[in-house]
Structure 1
């Protein structure tokens, strides 16, 4: 029995392994013909085009409206207007169906509605049960025709947009995609515009109303309906529902031409908190209307299209140089796409991975592919294409998309025919004609210190600045008395650090309470701040366990248990700015600082001296005129989450002197008058 059990165990686990095949051993069957459904078309006098497809499989009806509009039409100063308009249309409800009422209606009927506006198109969708269609169709049309644009929803959309802006430098891939677009299309191109804090602030409710009014009209609309309905009955319902929409003026989407002269550049975005490089390289791409489009798609599959591609097999599998790798020659419909090669590799192998990828491109140009590789690629590609048409809804959406973009309704069949006809010679010809591996722009997003001088072999390295622009401050800057400022700064410094006392760092033991969206969080532990190095080490007990935080040399890390995570650069910068603004740093660095006496201010019954220290973001200390110790400090700080400046106020009390250093054992901080944190020091150690 024991031998039999072992035999069965081996057999059961061996059979699946024996059945597995390599990607190049799979035999693909002939592609079955795709049965296209019958599409009924009709128009209304106001210009709306309708496409109807009956599908009785489920008692559902899907409506998709396509509108000729987009962010392409928005002036640069209001970038973000189109997307936010599409967002607020749905979130704000309509005149007859306010947001709360509409949400309840949809929830009660298990229905879904959405609106959107992208770069080159907009529209809305509705998914609903057949029995609820007549009830919800008027609400959907009212949402498209009469959005309410309530101010509170606009404010929420602005806050969400600004929060997204604040996080756009978090991920390497997102940075690489954005910055590579700018290298190809140009810094001021409409194709590379970014929504910024300032452009969001420029957008008004009136802008949204006007943008919607100009484009959500009959002459710009195409409506596709798929589902369980009778075509003639549906036509009548649609005439009644959409007939009141104004005809309006048709929108003209003009895509600017691109001037590109194939420069060879090497560019770096320094991201100190990572230990790998994300590489993107290439040049301008082409247009969908190119007769070589089918052959280019076959070439793309061979070069970088999935696990079987040459880039994956050579650069990742054989050479082990990449976590991920891919590439393709992009062909957009309305403006040229990009030829793009990408990889994620360790910092130490950045240049080696770049060279290996470019070598594969040149090999595809220099050596004809085999007949087997061509046929296997065609089979894989054609079999994957059928999933674009696996439902009537997808078929209809493809048909509407083709018409919207000026493609023939037979574009898919033409693509399949072109792929079948592609030869070995075609693949080599398009590889030679359209890809220029010796004229690429290389972009590396990675750790500059770890990469070292690897990139210099490609030319002069351009280090790109990806700092997120902050909106201009409208706060008036008052001038004070510099002479008195320096005198009061001396008084404050000597009150905090006795003359002759040397301080390199201080170590405090205590507890802190932090106000967060989840409520108050209590932490305790030891914090050491080195003022000479502008560094900090903290070992804290938190509800999640013990956390160690280290900030030094412009880098930071957080260690929780056995796991260590890099701190985002913005967070590191915030910690170092806090050290620099602290009264201890100011007292130790007073000889290098610029200070101004700003007069006095009475708070409660006490008159305090106002002393402004002129950093990039000035901080003002309120000094007790008798002791010269600060009672409070204030400064204006940009909050990336809200996209606005906020006033940070810190109050100091319970001053104690230890080894020549007078230190506030109790502090409380506020952000725009809301309590942010409080701390209490139990003991202080001065390190010389």
Structure 2
């Protein structure tokens, strides 16, 4: 122990001595910064039109090959939006004819290699990252992947399901909603720039559609290839010529984006999202093109207005006025189509209009007051310093050059931008702000909670409420007309059987065990529920594994409470809760006079015949009534399953009927989705409130 203590003291004394010997901050000598040498880019082209860009990088034994393809979703027909993206996804997920998915995945995994493909709005891509020693072996695999993708039906269906699942979640995030819908305001609902996938457009896409797009796009005249890594340039040129020469030249695709016909106008648009307590605001108008001679001036102007912590929007709206959780903006200049000028803020619901006024005020100040020399110089220094990181590696230099050539910009575009930024003067900022910004004609979009915002937006003009309901795919089942008079008679019989003492207005309460399947096996969740059918009010107390959760639905709103925290129900959750209420057999019995019911005949189920009736509601569903007891034996309806991305048939089987307080309830309900059991609920007691 003494030895340990002595050793510790020695180390402490040594550390103190080192601290005392350490230089002051202004005495520290820093090593000289290494200069970054711009690499040479070897460029050559094959007879089939493929253009190569080679950059040697011997630092690591790796080779990265990136293909840029002239194609994009702008080519998708209006009824098949999503075709390009789906094609890019399945090219990789299904593998190729020689190397199907599992075989390809195993091959790449064993060699720590990666291959990816994808297609966006105005370009496609394919990439291969491999060890230098594996390059020659895996290059033919990559060639086969981009030339002969398998497009297997099972992978197409899997990708479609994933795309549909994403569609079902697209209204969850406030910012995503705002940015998507703002694009529509600027470019138009039907513009190839702003449109998005729907369930129906995904369903319309066939394997043949994907094969045709691939064959048209992945040809020599549409391909540029950058290669970076540990290789000798001359040797690599020979390998690439041998590997890619057989790819057909094909026809070059023209990146011809339809012209944007934009009219400057002031509009006020609102999207009601009840589960949030803040507003996400975007305002702006059309932007410009990258080849605008004033591009550099506009970028500096943008930095002054919204370029980070020192920008005016941040300093005034967020720091000085305290109106924003975050504030942002940009003047976009597109290569193939105009960008957008946007300014945005996330603010409390009650300060929505105040934040909008503050942003507009800063835009107008930029037009009417010149920036100071100090502010301009600080902005230019920050901007130029950030641009340095655009050229901080050989990979970034190669990608930048590929991007410029793809867009048809001069190779010295970056250098010219730096020089032009240095030349910007204080008067230039006010001039471009006056010429290109139209604060009096901004389109305003707010995504927020109408209960918290109230009528704040009316000061800007008539408010257009945007419906973001996700269209569900059409149900292709044939609808057969039934007998309305007989339907009403069967509904009356069911109501009499369920409510022998007649209708009630008080609360119905019941206790139940909901039995579900989990990875750990069967699990029972206890539920206490109180329903007032007349007021359409539901209170559920759920004893979940993570604790007690209370769910309340009333007055068209829904909240969930747990551990002192409260969260509003998502619109989809609220809609599902209401739909369950409207399909409840007791709700049907109490509201039978207002329902449109049709008798569709007798139908045999499991050897017994039942009266088959359909309730024609917003979401129609069907009942099978036992002719002996007049009680419902089964309910069936079609609904969208977000996980599968398609409509499924849900069946609820009722049994073990018991009466209490003049109300019959099924003490066992088993649920099925497309024939697969999904739930089993066992009621233990029920009662009416006094």
Bin of the TM-score, shorter chain as denominator length: over 0.9
Distance 2:632 2:110 in 1: 60
SS of equivalent to 2:440: coil
Partner residue in 2 for 1:27? none
Give the alignment partner of residue 536 of structure 2, picking from 520, 534, 542.
534
**Alignment counterpart, residue 447 of structure 2, candidates 439, 442, 445:** 445
Return the alpha-carbon distance in structure 1 between the equivalents of residues 447 and 258 of structure 2.
29
Q: Which secondary structure does the structure 1 equivalent of 2:172 belong to?
A: coil
> Whole-Å Cα distance in 2 between the matches of residues 501 and 295 of structure 1?
74
Q: Say which of 177, 183, 201 aligns to 2:179.
A: 177
Deviations 1:261-312 (A, max 9, x none): 1110000000011110000010000000001101111111110111111101
Query: Could you tell me how far apart the structure 1 residues matched to 2:374 and 2:523 are?
Result: 63
What is the deviation of 1:74?
1.3
The offset of 1:32, in angstroms, is: 11
- Relative to structure 1, the CA distance from residue 521 to residue 191 in structure 2 (aligned partners, 3 Å threshold; closer, same or farther) is farther
Counterpart of 1:291 in structure 2 is 293
- 1:76-155 equivalences under 5 Å are 76-155=78-157
Deviation at 1:609?
Answer: 1.0
Match of 1:426 in 2: 428
Say if 1:554 and 1:573, in contact at 8 Å, map to a contact too.
no
Q: Which residue of 2 aligns with 1:302?
A: 304
Q: CA deviation at 1:364?
A: 0.9
Give yes or no for the alignment of 1:393 onto 2:395: yes
Counterpart in the other structure of 1:36: 38
**1:645-683 Cα deviation digits (max 9, x unpaired):** 211111111111111101111111111111111111111
Q: Distance in 1 between matches of 2:296 and 2:379?
A: 12
C-alpha distance in 1 between matches for 2:663 and 2:150: 61
Q: Deviations over 1:446-472 (max 9, x none)?
A: 001211000000001000011111122
Answer whether contact 2:52 2:225 (CA < 8 A) is retained.
Answer: yes
Q: Deviations over 1:383-416 (max 9, x none)?
A: 1111111110110111011000011100100110
Counterparts of 2:34 and 2:571, CA distance in 1: 54
- 1:273 and 1:555 in contact (8 A); partners too: no
CA displacement at 1:505 relative to structure 2: 2.4
1:608 to 586, 610, 619: 610
Aligned to 1:213, what secondary structure does the other structure show? helix
How many Å separate the matches in 1 of 2:519 and 2:119?
Answer: 31
How much has 1:237 moved relative to structure 2?
A: 0.7
SS, match of residue 671 in structure 2 = strand
Q: Cα distance 1:174–1:362, how it changes in 2: closer, same or farther (>3 A)?
A: same
The TM-score, its normalising length taken from structure 2, stands at 0.94
| Alpha-carbon separation, structure 1, partners of 2:471 and 2:429 | 45
Aligned mates of 2:539, 2:147 — CA distance in 1:
58
Q: Of the candidates 305, 311, 314, which is equivalent to residue 312 of structure 1?
A: 314
Contact 1:509 1:683 in 2 (8 A): yes
Give the CA deviation at 1:501: 4.3
SS at match of 2:567: strand
**Equivalent pair of 2:255/2:336 in contact (CA under 8 Å):** no
Maintained 8 Å contact 1:285/1:339: yes
Distance 2:227 2:624 in 1: 68
Q: CA deviation at 1:618?
A: 1.6
User: Which of 404, 408, 411 in structure 1 is aligned with 2:410?
Assistant: 408
Give the SS at the match of 2:439: coil
Q: Which moved more, 1:364-373 or 1:596-605?
A: 596-605
Distance 1:225 1:520 in 2: 54
Q: Is the 8 A contact 1:655 1:665 kept in 2?
A: yes
Match of 2:49 among 47, 50, 62: 47
Q: Does the CA contact (< 8 Å) of 2:162 and 2:645 recur in 1?
A: no
Deviations 1:299-342 (A, max 9, x none): 11110111111101110111110000011211111111101011
Structure 1 residues 115, 367: CA separation in 2 closer, same or farther (over 3 Å shift)?
same
Determine the C-alpha separation between the residues in 1 that align with 2:40 and 2:587.
76
Q: 1:497-523: CA deviations, max 9, x gaps? A: 124442332111121013467864421
Q: Which residue of 2 aligns with 1:232?
A: 234
The 3-state SS of whatever aligns with 1:192 is coil
Corresponding residue number in structure 2 for 1:282: 284
Aligned length: 665
Question: Which of 664, 667, 670 is 1:665 aligned to?
Answer: 667
Instruction: Give me the whole-angstrom Cα distance separating, in 2, the residues matched to 1:540 and 1:567.
Output: 15
Question: The residue matched to 2:441 in structure 1 has which SS?
Answer: coil
- Higher deviation after alignment, 564-573 or 309-318: 564-573
Q: Find out whether 1:504 has 2:488 as its counterpart.
A: no
Are the equivalent residues in 2 in contact too, given 1:503–1:686 (CA < 8 A)? Answer: no
Question: In the alignment, is the contact (CA less than 8 A) between 1:636 and 1:647 conserved in 2?
Answer: yes
Indicate conservation of the 8 Å contact 1:267/1:462, yes or no. Answer: yes
Aligned pair in 2 of structure 1 residues 299, 32: CA closer, same or farther (>3 Å)?
A: farther
Provide the residue aligned with 1:490 in structure 2.
492
Matches within 5 A, 1:545-584: 545-584=547-586
* Equivalent pair of 2:73/2:83 in contact (CA under 8 Å): yes
Aligned to 2:459: 457
Task: Tell me what 2:349 maps to.
Answer: 347
Distance 1:517 1:45 in 2: 58
The separation in 2 between residues aligned to 1:567 and 1:385, in whole angstroms, is: 44
Which residue pairs with 1:263 in the alignment?
Answer: 265
Question: Does structure 1 conserve the Cα–Cα contact (< 8 Å) formed by 2:226 and 2:402?
Answer: yes
- Which of residues 588, 591, 595 is equivalent to 1:589? 591
What's 2:60 paired with? Answer: 58
- Note the residue ranges of structure 1 that are not aligned, 5 or more in a row: 1-11, 13-18, 20-30
**8 A Cα contact 1:555 1:569, kept in partner:** no
Give the superposition deviation at 1:147.
Answer: 0.7
| CA 1:592–1:389: 2 relative to 1, 3 Å | same
Cα distance change of structure 1 residues 401 and 519 upon mapping to structure 2, 3 Å threshold? farther
Report if the CA contact (8 A) 1:656-1:665 is conserved: yes
Q: 1:535: how far off?
A: 2.3
Whether the aligned pair in 2 keeps the contact of 1:86 and 1:115 (CA below 8 Å) is yes
Distance in structure 2 (CA, Å) of the matches to 1:223 and 1:502: 74
For residues 381 and 533 of structure 1, the distance between their equivalents in structure 2, rounded to whole angstroms, comes to 60
Are the equivalent residues in 2 in contact too, given 1:613–1:620 (CA < 8 A)? yes
Contact 1:283–1:441 (Cα < 8 Å) also in 2 = yes
CA contact (8 A) 1:323 1:343 kept: yes
By how many angstroms is 1:118 displaced?
0.6
